[in-house]
Amino acid sequence: MDLRQTVLEAKDICKSFYDNLVLDHVNFSCTSGEIHTLVGENGAGKSTLMRIFSGVYQPTSGELYLNGKPVKFTGTLQAQQAGVSIIHQEFNLVPHMSIAENIFLGRQLRKKGGNLDFPAMRRRTEELSRMMRMELEPDAPVCSLTVAQQQMVEIMKAIELDTQIIIMDEPTAALTPVEVSSLFAAMRRLRDEGRTIIYISHRLNEVFDISDRITVLKDGVMAATLRTEETTKDEVVSLMVGRKLDNIFPPRDEAAGEVRLQAEGLVIAPGKGPASFSVRAGEILGVTGLEGQGQRELLRALFGLHRLAAGKIFIDGQEVRIRSTREAMAHGVTFLTDDRKNEGLCLDLPIYRNISLPVFRRLKTGPFLTVQAERQETQRYMELMNIKAESSAKLVRKLSGGNQQKVLLGKCLSPAPKVLLVHEPTRGIDVAAKIEIYTLLKKLAREEQVAVVMVSSDLMEVLNVSDRILVVYGGGISGELAAADATEESVMRLATGVAKEAAV
């Protein structure tokens, strides 16, 4: 290619969990002084590959070469020492410790005699923060920083480790555009010093902005490695998805009945919002926004999981009070959480126990609940949703992500809801399962006249599944778009508050 040397090379990497092959003979290489982006759908295996590079996982088969020499990482510490560090999506910082202490965690500088050398650590932290063009007080506890600043602390930590390769797993997910551009400036400086950055992102605009090369993973197989200037977004998307977008999302049609759910002046916290909106029976309302703008709280408030400072909720024209999940369900509202493992499912219970959980009362015969009744109920949903399991007695933990998600959706449907609230309905599942979930949501809306509110950060999903799109900014609605007219750009403009300011 050019004079740059290959620093990290993966040959024929395979990785399987239980019986699932997550990575299938992946070949990957990156050179010094490049920003190499890895793109792919949720569940394509990006994170798994990065965890292999950083020593969290060991490959089932295949080899890793670092600077031409074969290496086997048995842990992150070993990978760090060899020159690979990773910045995870969830930060690895100790919240109540200072910035300086976090940067030197486990490698504190010491004076003669073993007392810690705080002045030296502080000085070095200041140096690093100047290098990042940040004004950070070394003694400030990490929990007092913004997400973007915490991100910078992670990067400073990686630089202090002096690793040749820095892996960043979706570092921009929670950043504002200004913060993103300062992060990118920092990344470019690191690249120009000759370091390698492996970058994972979902945001194609950013990917094209920052990368030198792009590698596309699809269903655990490496689809292609492309030079950024020689490719187009369309090419990358079709490689990622492996089929045209039209085949993933259900066809557009129109149908909407009476207003089913109406929210007036919802205030998620004093000083935020207010937000007013409505959803019709048979309609899918897509709600999106940058992370932390309040869409999560608005959705959860409708299910009694977030206490509102003010606001009224009407269902079928009747004002209702929803202060607990129990009250929400009594009004025909169900909720699909974005945190499947902690909030959504009892992983160590069988499928039927999970699906029957919200409807024990209905399934009971006198005072007794029989397994038979539960399994009968569950069978309907197993068929409706095409849940792949040999029996409904299988433990949920043993299912794939996609099937777990379908069980979760089944749990939301068993109470026969009038209003279905879904939060990131397809996070971390494969395309096949996504298609099934989209089809099902559409069918529920159109055939059962359910009003669906879908909060999602996946723009493709919001643009293509919703009938109408609301964009949330600062706890209020910064704009509403008809799905047919909305574009990625028009949504992002509203999401960053740009459009609103322009209108003033």
Partner 1 sequence: MNLRAFIKRHDNLFIVYAILLAVAVVGAVSSPRFLTGINLGNIMEQAVGLGIVALGQVLTILLAGIDLSVGAVVSMSTAIMSLELSGGAAGILLNILLTLAAGALVGVFNGFGIVRLRIPPFIMTLSTMCIVNGVALKIRPVPGGSIPYEFMDLLFGRIGIFPHAVLLWAVAGALLVWLLGSRRLGRNLYAVGGNPTTAALSGIPVGRVRMQAHILCSVLAAVGGICVAARMGSGDATLGETYSMDSVTVCVLGGVSLFGGQGNIVGLLASTFILTGISNILNMVGVSSYYQYVFKGLILLVTVLVFSIKDKQKG
Using CB under 8 A, list all residues that contact partner 1. Answer: 76-77, 80, 92-97, 101, 105-108, 110, 114-116, 118, 139
CA-nearest of 344, 492, 323 to 411 is 344
Q: How far apart are CA 395 and CA 406, in angstroms?
A: 14
How many degrees, rounded to 5, is the angle at CA 499 between CA 147 and CA 338? 45
Q: Any idea which residue has 């590698």 for tokens?
A: 215
Pairing type for strands 476-482 and 196-200 reads unpaired
- Of 105 and 330, which has the nearer Cβ to partner 1? 105
Minimum distance between the CB of residue 120 and partner 1, rounded to whole angstroms? Answer: 13
In the sheet where 310-315 sits, what is the strand order? 275-280, 259-267, 310-315, 318-320
Question: In 3-state terms, what secondary structure has residue 232?
Answer: coil
List b or e across 168-192, with b for residues whose CB sees 16 or more CB atoms inside 10 angstroms: bbbbbebbbeebbeebbebbeebbe
H or E, element range at 468? strand 468-473
- Of 80 and 466, which has the nearer Cβ to partner 1? 80
- Of 108 and 449, which has the nearer Cβ to partner 1? 108
- Of 61 and 92, which has the nearer Cβ to partner 1? 92
- Of 118 and 249, which has the nearer Cβ to partner 1? 118
Q: How far is CA 364 from the centre of its chain?
A: 38
Minimum distance between the CB of residue 63 and partner 1, rounded to whole angstroms? Answer: 24
- Cβ atoms of residues 480 and 468 within 8 Å: yes
Minimum distance between the CB of residue 79 and partner 1, rounded to whole angstroms? Answer: 10
Minimum distance between the CB of residue 107 and partner 1, rounded to whole angstroms? Answer: 7
- Of 75 and 257, which has the nearer Cβ to partner 1? 75
CA-nearest of 105, 111, 97 to 77 is 105
Assess whether the previous peptide bond of 274 is cis (omega < 30° from 0): yes
Whether the CA torsion 412, 384, 439, 200 is positive or negative: it is positive
- Of 40 and 138, which has the nearer Cβ to partner 1? 138
- Cβ atoms of residues 294 and 475 within 8 Å: yes
- Cβ atoms of residues 483 and 468 within 8 Å: yes
- Of 125 and 211, which has the nearer Cβ to partner 1? 125
Minimum distance between the CB of residue 448 and partner 1, rounded to whole angstroms? Answer: 40
Q: How far apart are CA 316 and CA 275, in angstroms?
A: 19
Minimum distance between the CB of residue 106 and partner 1, rounded to whole angstroms? Answer: 4
Minimum distance between the CB of residue 76 and partner 1, rounded to whole angstroms? Answer: 5
Minimum distance between the CB of residue 210 and partner 1, rounded to whole angstroms? Answer: 26
- Of 293 and 356, which has the nearer Cβ to partner 1? 293
Residue type, 345: L
Q: φ and ψ at 20, to 5 degrees?
A: -85, 125
Minimum distance between the CB of residue 67 and partner 1, rounded to whole angstroms? Answer: 22
- Of 96 and 243, which has the nearer Cβ to partner 1? 96
Minimum distance between the CB of residue 13 and partner 1, rounded to whole angstroms? Answer: 22
- Of 94 and 432, which has the nearer Cβ to partner 1? 94
DSSP type of residue 44: S
Minimum distance between the CB of residue 272 and partner 1, rounded to whole angstroms? Answer: 13
Give helix 177-192 / helix 147-160 axis angle, nearest 10°.
10
Minimum distance between the CB of residue 68 and partner 1, rounded to whole angstroms? Answer: 26
- Of 77 and 185, which has the nearer Cβ to partner 1? 77
Q: How far apart are CA 479 and CA 497, in angstroms?
A: 9
- Tell me how far apart the terminal alpha carbons of the chain are, to the nearest angstrom: 51
Which positions ≥6 away from 389 have C-beta within 8 Å?
A: 351, 382, 399, 403
How far is CA 400 from each of CA 18, 20, 107, 347, rounded to the nearest angstrom?
10, 8, 39, 12
